[in-house]
Structure 1
Amino acid sequence: MKFTIQKDRLVESVQDVLKAVSSRTTIPILTGIKIVASDEGVSLTGSDSDISIESFIPKEDGDLEIVTIDRPGSIVLQARFFSEIVKKLPMSTVEIEVQNQYLTIIRSGKAEFNLNGLDASEYPLLPQIEEHHAFQIPTDLLKNLIRQTVFAVSTSETRPILTGVNWNVSGGELICTATDSHRLALRKAKLDISEDSSYNVVIPGKSLTELSKILDDHQELVDIVITETQVLFKTKNVLFFSRLLDGNYPDTNRLIPQESKTNLIVNTKEFLQAIDRASLLAREGRNNVVKLSASASESIEISSNSPEIGKVVETVNAEQIEGEDLKISFSPKYMLDALKVLEGEDIHVSFTGAMRPFLIRTPNDDSIVQLILPVRTY
C-alpha cells in the first residue's frame, strides 16, 4: 500500500474515528485504526465493539485532489501513536507506505516515522446492515435531539437500560426520552417517514454523545438505519454504528403529571442565574438542595441554606403565578441542566405539590419537556 494525502483531511478523519477507539479493550487489534486505500479513496475505521466509526476520504473533492493512490492495500496502526504523529507532521501532505512485515513508513517534508503495523484482515468486520429501512433527520435537528436529552441518562450501571436514550418512532413522530429515575428529558420531532414505520430502541448515551461531536453544524440530512441490535447513522463521508441496549425501557408516560396545582411563567435567564447563585452554597456537604417558594404575590423566592457556611435568599419576579402557594426543594444541578437546553426567553414550570415531580417547558411548545423529582427536606 502506498498513497499521498492532504494532511488536514487525514487529521480530521483520524480525530473522528479515534472517538470509537478504547485503550481498555480486550481485543488488542481494536487499539488500532484500520486504514484501507482503494481506487476510490482512503477509509479509516475505529471501533471498541460497542461503537464503530468509518470515515471515508474521497480521491477528489470538487476540483481539489485530496488523495493520490500509488498502490491499494490496508494496514492497522496503533491509534494513539498514529494520531499524535499525523497531527504534528510538518508539511501539508503526508505519504504513507506499507512495506514487508507490515512496516509502515509515514513521510512528510523531512520527517519520517516507521511504525509497526498489524494485518488488516484480522480486524473485525463492521456490522452488515441492509439499508432499505432508512429514515432521515437534518443534522442540526439530530444534534438538538441529542443535546436536549442525553444529559439525563443514568451514569450508574445498576440499571443498564437507563444509560441509554429511548427512541420511539410511530405515527410519523420520533420521541426521545432519557431518565436516571430522578429526572427525565423528553423531546419530540416530526419525521418525514411513513405513518406505519415504527421502532422502539434504546441507544447508549455514550454513543449519542460521540456522534454529536462528529456531526457538523449544517442542514444536511443524516440517514438512520435501525436493526434489532444496531443503529447506523450515515452522513456524506462517515458511517457511525452503535450497538443497541438490550431490555425494555420503562413506561415513562405515567410519570408525567397531567394536571398541575401551581404554575409559573418566568424569564429563563433570570431564573437560571438565580438558581446558579443559590447553588454556590448548596454544593457543600449533603445539603445539596435549593428551595423555591411561590405565592400569588407575583414573586418567587429562591434560597439555599448550608448551616456551616451561611445562606442565600433571592427574589425573582415572575411574569405569571397561578394556583396554590408552594414550597419545594430540588437539586440545583438537575434544574440548571434542564434550563440550559430549553430554547426561548420564558419558561413555564408546573407543580402538582411539594413531593410530586414538576415539569419545565417552553410556553406553548410541547415538543420538549423536562421533569424533575423534588428532594424531601425536613
Structure 2
Amino acid sequence: MKFVIQRDRLVQSVQDVMKAITSRTTIPILTGIKIIATDEGVSLTGSDSDISIESFIPKEEDEDVIVDIKQPGSIVIQAKFFSEIVKKLPLETVEIEVIGSFQTVIRSGKSEFNLIGLDPDEYPHLPQIEDGKVFKVPTDLLKTMIRQTVFAVSTSETRPVLTGVNWQVGNNELICIATDSHRLALRKAAIETDSDAHYNVVIPGKSLSELSKILDDTTEPIEIVITENQVLFKAKHLLFFSRLLEGNYPDTSRLIPTDSKTAITLNAKEFLHVIDRASLLAREGRNNVVKLTTVGDDLIEISSNSPEIGKVIEQIKSQLIEGEELKISFSAKYMMDALKALEDTEIHVYFTGAMRPFVIRPIHNDSILQLILPVRTY
C-alpha cells in the first residue's frame, strides 16, 4: 500500500473515527485505525464494537486531487500514535507506505515515522446492513433533536435501556424520548419515511452524542437505516454504526399529565438565570434543590436554603399565572437542562400538584416538551 494524501483531510477523518476508539477494549486490534486504499480513495475505520465509524476520503473532489493512490492495500495502525503524528506533520501532504510485514512509513517533508502495523485481516468486519428500511432526516434537525433529548438519559447501568434514547418512527413522524426516571425530554418532527415504516428502538445516548459531534451543520439529509440490533447513519463520506440497546423501553406516555391545576407563562431566559443564581447556594446540599412559590397573580418566588451556607430568595414576574396557588421544589440542574434544551423565549409550565410531575413547553411549539419530577423537601 502506498498513497499521498492532503494532510488536513486525513486529520479530519482520523478525528472522526477516533470517536469510536477506546483504550479500554478487550480486543487489542480495536485500539487501531484500519486504513484501506483503493482506486476510488482511502477509507478509515474505528470501532469499539458498540460504535463503528467509517470515513471515506475520495480520490478527488470538485476537480481537486486529494489522494494519489500509488498502490492499493490495507493496514491497521495504532490510533493513539497515528492521530498525534498526522496532526503534527510539517507539510500539507503526507505519504503513507506499507513495507514488508505491516511496517508502515509515514513521511512528510523531512519527517519520517516508522510504525509497526497490525494485520488488517484480523480487524472485525463492519456490521452488514441491508439498505432496506431507510428514512431521511436533515442533518441540522437530527443534531437539534439529539441535543434536546440526549441529556436526559440515565447515567446508571441499573436499567441499561434508560441509558439510551427511544426512537419511535411511524406515520412520517420521528419521536425521540429520553428519561432517567426523574425527568423526561421529548422531541418530535415530521420526516420522510415509507408510509408503512414503523420502528421502536433504543439508541445508546453515548452513540448519539458522538454522532452529533461529527456531523456538520448542514440541511443535507442523513440516511438512517434500522435493523434488528444495529442502526446506521449515512452522511456524505461517513458511515456511523451503533448497536441498539436490548429490552423494552417503558411506556412514557402515561407519565405525561394531560391536565393541570396551575399554569405559569414565563420568559425562559430570565427564568433560567434566576434558577442559576438560586442554585449557587444549593449545590453543596442534597441534589441541588430550589423552591418555587406563586405569589399573587403575576409573581413567582424562587428560593434556596442551605443550612450551613445561607439562603437566597428572588422574585420574577410571570406573564400569567392561572389556577391554584403552588409551592413546589425541584432540582435546579434538571430545570436548567430543560430550559437550555427548549431554546424558545416564552414557555408554559403546567403543574398538577406539589408532588406530581410537571411539564414545560414552548408557547408556540408543540413538538417539544420537558417533564420534571419534583423533590419532596419536608
With the shorter chain as reference, the TM-score category is: over 0.9
Residue 312 (structure 2) aligns with: 312
Distance (whole Å) between structure 2 residues aligned to residue 195 and residue 115 of structure 1: 52
Query: 1:202 and 2:202 equivalent?
Result: yes
1:241 maps to what in 2?
A: 241
Q: How does 1:259-278 map to 2 (within 5 A)?
A: 259-278=259-278
Corresponding position of 2:332: 332
Q: How big is each residue's C-alpha offset from its partner over 1:83-132, in whole Å with a ceiling of 9 and x where there is no partner?
A: 00000000000000000010000000110000000010100000010112
Give, in whole Å, the separation in 2 of the partners of 1:107 and 1:78. 16
> Please, which runs of 5 or more residues in structure 2 have no aligned partner?
none
Is the deviation greater in 286-295 or in 132-141?
A: 286-295
Instruction: Please list, as runs of the form range in 1=range in 2, the aligned pairs for 1:31-50 lying within 5 A after superposition.
Output: 31-50=31-50
Equivalenced residue count is: 378
How many Å separate the matches in 2 of 1:364 and 1:352? Answer: 21
Three-state SS of the structure 1 residue aligned to 2:36 is strand
Separation in structure 2 between the aligned mates of residue 63 and residue 364 of structure 1, nearest angstrom: 46
Matches within 5 A, 1:82-101: 82-101=82-101
Aligned-partner Cα distance in 1 for 2:3–2:112: 15
Partner of 1:355: 355
Deviations 1:168-216 (A, max 9, x none): 0111111100000000000011111233210000000000000000000
Aligned counterparts of 1:61 and 1:349: Cα–Cα separation in 2? 50
CA distance in 2, matches of 1:108, 1:27: 31
Deviation digits for residues 254-296 of structure 1 (CA, Å, limit 9, x no counterpart): 0000000000110111100000000000001226200000143
Letter in 2 for 1:60: E
CA–CA separation in structure 2 for the residues paired with 1:319 and 1:285: 32
Determine the C-alpha separation between the residues in 2 that align with 1:205 and 1:53.
16
| 2:178 alignment counterpart | 178
Find runs of 4+ consecutive structure 1 residues off by over 6 angstroms.
Answer: none
> Partners in 2 of 1:89 and 1:287 — Cα distance?
47
Q: Is structure 2 residue 160 aligned with structure 1 residue 156?
A: no
* 2:293 aligned with 1:293: yes
Q: Hey, what does 2:51 align to over in structure 1?
A: 51
TM-score (norm 1): 0.99
AA in 2 matched with 1:78: Q
Task: Determine if contact 1:33/1:77 at 8 Å carries over to the other structure.
Answer: yes
Q: In 1, distance between residues paired with 2:183 and 2:35? A: 43
Identify the residue that residue 124 of structure 2 maps to in structure 1. Answer: 124
In the alignment, the residues of structure 2 paired with residue 313 and residue 107 of structure 1 have an alpha-carbon distance, to the nearest angstrom, of 64
Structure 1, residues 210-234: CA drift from partner, whole Å, max 9, x if none? Answer: 0000000011110000000000000
Contact 1:295/1:321 (<8 A) preserved: no
Unaligned runs of at least 5 residues, structure 1: none
3-state SS of 1:225 partner: strand
CA contact (8 A) 1:290 1:331 kept: yes
Letter in 1 for 2:236: K
Aligned-partner Cα distance in 1 for 2:93–2:291: 59
1:18 aligns with 2:14: no
- Give 3-state SS (helix, strand or coil) of 1:365's partner: coil
The answer to whether the 8 A contact 2:262-2:326 is kept is: yes
CA distance in 2, matches of 1:150, 1:221: 20
Report the secondary structure of 1:81's partner residue.
Answer: helix
Contact 2:297-2:320 at 8 Å conserved across structures: no
Is the contact made by 2:153 and 2:179 (CA closer than 8 Å) also made in structure 1? Answer: yes
SS of the residue corresponding to residue 280 of structure 2 reads helix
Give CA-to-partner distance per residue, 1:308-346, whole Å, 9 cap, x none.
111000000001110000000000000000000102211
Secondary structure of 2:113's aligned partner: strand
